[in-house]
Amino acid sequence: MTSRFRYSRWDGTQVGFDLDADALLEEMTDDLLYHGDLNAALRRMLQQGFQDREGRDVQGMREMLEKLRERRREQLDRYDLGGVYEEIAQRLDEIVDREREGIDRRLDEARASGDHRREELLEELAQQRREQLEQLPPDLAGRVSELQQYDWMDDTARQNFEELMEELKKQLLDSMFNQLSQGLSEMSPEQMQRMKDMLGELNHMLEQRERGEEPDFEGFMARFGDFFPENPQTLDELLEQMARSMAQMQQLLNSMSPEQRAQLQEMANALLDDMDLRWQVDQLGQNLRSAFPQMGWGQRQQFRGDEPMPLNQMSSVLDQLGDIDSLEHMLRNATNPGQLAEVDIDQVRDLLGDDAAKSLEKLSELAKMLEEAGLIEQREGRMELTPKGIRRIGQRALGDLFKRLLQDRSGKHEIERSGAGHERSDEHKPYEFGDPFHLDVGRTIRNAITRQGGGTPVHIRPEDFEIERTEQITNTSTVLMLDVSLSMEMRGRFLAAKKVAMALHALISSQFPRDYLGMVSFGRVAREVKPERLPEATWDFEWGTNMQHAMMLARKLLARQSGRKQIIMITDGEPTAHIENGDAWFDYPPSPRTIEMTLREVQRCTKDGIRINTFMLEDNYYLREFVERMMKMNRGRAFYTTPETLGDYVLVDFLDQKRSERRAG
């Protein structure tokens, strides 16, 4: 049976494979090669974001943090903290006006009754109440305190005032403990007593933990769990929630003017007239401040808007600012994709929108996707490239070079050369005079039987002979010397040179596996670079171009190898450092001693049959003069190139040399 497929026009609703491990690795390759640190490259990718294969932007954390800061600015630019008092003052004015109307109504009723004694008593009482109302303090807290002691004459005004006080008490406690909103829905005396008991036990558990004892958290939640709608699973989680709420309230107080802060505190004292409750609240605040000093208790919010913020909205505004601060803290301190999995995606969606939430989900999967593809792995708490990942980067670098190079000759670069060699090629041919006599016995006997027919003995003639072809095999041992001096980075040449190193490693390991490739980096001193550590190689943070030390290491590496031996040197400057008596000596302009020591090493390489081919990334007189002297001694070749064409030169030269060797063979 054949498979059937149906296709439709793209309408914008279809979703393709927008992310894969190869695309992610390609996205971060330049950063990784430039800095030589996979973990830092992952962090920068998280910070900057990227585009998926469909061209859609994946927001980075830097963009998300800026949006969070903008969201905070919107809240701060909207509200004026004076609104906390304006609404309360307006409602108190309305209640006082209603009381005055009630006083007048009571007097009118007394006058209409015809009872002069009652009228006299009410007029005297009304005069006293009017004087009390006229003498109310101008500040809000003082008015609340005085009206709590006032003997109301109007029942509706008294009821409205009591309702306002209960509402303000609930809102005030809500602002202090916005996690207790469900538990404070009814402020009955019994509920208030339960709340005091809950706060008392909470303080006791904090003291127990301070002494190293184990508090009974499960028993506490069994008795008071209805106060906590978010259902914390541990004591630390519960305390952190409450500490965040109280710290937000403290930040609000810090943000007020001294007069506003004094009014709110005095009003709180007047509303929370229960001494035991006030003590428990103060004690809890002190304990939480000690347990969570990092909550920003001393910070302040710069509210600068003109919209009054009512007390009943204070908790929601504080909660949103707290969510912004919490999310900002998590994003700023996330150093690897795995930590982003702990972020509340729903919270991100509420604060920043769907696009940011989707982007964060993708960012959190980066490392997991690369690990599952076998490109990176965890080693001692750090992400490292696997051999497969290193090969993939090298193949990508090689592919990028061949996209613009040797279009008609690219591919596996096999050379059709058969003859007197030693490697069987699994091909056969009739024997001709002069061929190596690698006789294929089976095919030879079959040819004889085909010729003479069945029966024994089988008579073999020369024309029955069939031999196995052999392939001419050449072997090249190469050491790539990569200049990592500070000038390579400052002049923007390091990344191109390192990509060439990765591409050359990929070419030799995949197409010429019998060849040897060693690598040496050189700045003030030289170091051997193992192929598995090549992606981590970075530039030297010191001045110095120590070709002498690099050639010394390269010569030692090649001494253990066979075949044609060569050094490929990529550099942008003349030698300015050398090793003498075990120490690195640097001088610029180059000292005659450095030139002499370097040329001595060139002479040793020449004596050992090592050809030095130099690729110069700088066209200056001093470098040209040195390279010409080196060429005369070594018979190597020199190429002046640029970062853009360096790979073309190196790969073409290497492949041409392989072809020349095989033709010579």
Q: What is the mean pLDDT of each run of 10 residues along the chain (665 residues)?
A: 54 51 73 70 78 73 85 82 71 89 87 82 87 84 82 89 78 58 52 81 86 87 82 85 77 71 68 66 80 76 74 70 79 75 81 83 77 76 74 69 48 38 59 73 87 84 80 72 85 80 79 84 90 75 88 93 87 89 87 92 93 82 85 85 70 65 51
Model pLDDT, residue 526:
92
Query: Domains (ranges, CATH) in the chain?
Result: 21-77+326-384 (no CATH), 418-471 (no CATH), 476-664 (3.40.50.410)
Q: Among all chains, which residue has been given the structure tokens 């008579």? A: 459
Rounded distance between C-alpha atoms, residue 203 and residue 246, angstroms: 14
Who contacts 64 (Cβ-Cβ below 8 Å, separation ≥6)?
331, 348, 352, 356, 359, 360
Q: Is the peptide bond before 457 cis (omega within 30 degrees of 0)?
A: yes
> Can you give the three-state secondary structure of 206-252, one letter per residue?
HHHHHCCCCCCHHHHHHHHHHHCCCCCCCHHHHHHHHHHHHHHHHHH
Model pLDDT, residue 648:
65
Model pLDDT, residue 548:
94
Model pLDDT, residue 665:
46
Model pLDDT, residue 655:
66
Who contacts 334 (Cβ-Cβ below 8 Å, separation ≥6)?
46, 61, 340, 343
Who contacts 484 (Cβ-Cβ below 8 Å, separation ≥6)?
494, 521, 522, 523, 537, 538, 539, 540
Q: What is the DSSP letter of 166?
A: H
Rounded distance between C-alpha atoms, residue 156 and residue 403, angstroms: 87
Stated length of the chain: 665
Q: What type of residue sits at position 483?
A: D
Pairing mode, strands 50-51 and 583-586: unpaired
Model pLDDT, residue 600:
94
Closest CA to 323 of 172, 169, 178, 174: 178
Q: What type of residue sits at position 512?
A: F
Rounded distance between C-alpha atoms, residue 527 and residue 542, angstroms: 14
Does the reported pTM lie above 0.85?
Answer: no
| Residue 496: other Cβ atoms inside 10 A | 19
